[in-house]
Amino acid sequence: MGKIQVEVDEIILGAVHSTYQLVLKEINGNRRLPIIIGVPEAQSIALAIEGKSLKRPNTHDLFLFLGKKFEISMKETFINRFEDGVFYAEIILEHNGITQVIDSRTSDGVALAIRFGSPIYVDERVLAETGTVHYRSDFDEPGRVEEPFEPPTQKTFKDELHKLSLSELERLLQEALDMEDYFRAATIRDEIARRK
């Protein structure tokens, strides 16, 4: 059983309503692994990639804080099987020299790996069965940077924030945090910081 190291390539809007596609790419190859995830998971992974922090931690941030507090390190996330259209993963943790393997949703494993700075691996058989091959074309721009992930309505939302007062923005920020809408909260926080 071989392990292939991958990293997040992109997060794109899925074909099914309220879903996103997390695309992992092979680090030393040209295969891609598309995985369907929900909006909260997409938001959490994107926040980690963008290095954004919020006033209140989301679940993955909380897990990171607990890990640091109790000296638990995360060694890796391993996407180890694909059954009935579902990807399965494990996270490998270490504490006081003892290794623990814990079952995990793939999206949670990826979100945690990014936060802990640990590698993500895919079983060779899973990648061979479900991966796609991407060849660089003449149309690909070397070094092109993708736009940061934003839900489709985010740009309009940003435009509307300019019209609000600082106190209205503070109220909206609290509402977004209460609803765990972290993208909206990050956007509002950025607008508040811009004005200060």
pLDDT, tens digit (0-9, with 9 covering 90-100), for 127-177: 999 988 865 544 454 443 344 444 444 445 666 777 788 888 888 877 776
Where are the alpha helices (H) located in 131-181, listed in sequence order?
Answer: 154-161, 166-178
Q: Return d(Cα 88, Cα 79) in angstroms, integer.
A: 6
As given in the structure block, the two tokens for residue 185 are 């909260």
DSSP 8-state symbol, 144: P
What integer pLDDT is reported at residue 18 of this predicted model?
67
Full-model pTM: 0.69
Q: Which of 75, 66, 110 is nearest to 93 (CA)?
A: 75
Q: 195 or 54: which carries more pLDDT confidence?
A: 195
Residue for token pair 């609803």: 179
What integer pLDDT is reported at residue 152 of this predicted model?
41
- Compute the Cα dihedral for 101, 2, 74, 110 and give only its sign: negative
One-letter amino acid for residue 105 of the chain: R
What integer pLDDT is reported at residue 167 of this predicted model?
85
Structure confidence by residue, pLDDT tens digits, 105-127: 999 999 999 999 999 999 999 99
Residue environment code for 59-84, b if the CB has 16+ CB neighbours within 10 A, otherwise e: ebbebbeebeeeebebbbbbbbebee
What integer pLDDT is reported at residue 135 of this predicted model?
54
Least confident of 5-9, 66-70, 73-77, 192-196: 192-196
Structure confidence by residue, pLDDT tens digits, 14-33: 766 667 889 999 998 889 99
Spatial CB neighbours of 175, under 8 Å, sequence gap ≥ 6: none
Confidence band (pLDDT; 50, 70, 90) for 180? Answer: low
The answer to whether 132 and 32 are in contact (CB under 8 A) is yes
Q: pLDDT above 90 covers what percent of the chain? A: 45
- The domains of the chain are located at 3-133, 154-195
Is residue 12 pLDDT above 80, yes or no?
Answer: yes
Spatial CB neighbours of 47, under 8 Å, sequence gap ≥ 6: 54, 58, 182, 183, 186
Superfamily of domain 3-133 in CATH is Bifunctional nuclease domain (3.10.690.10)
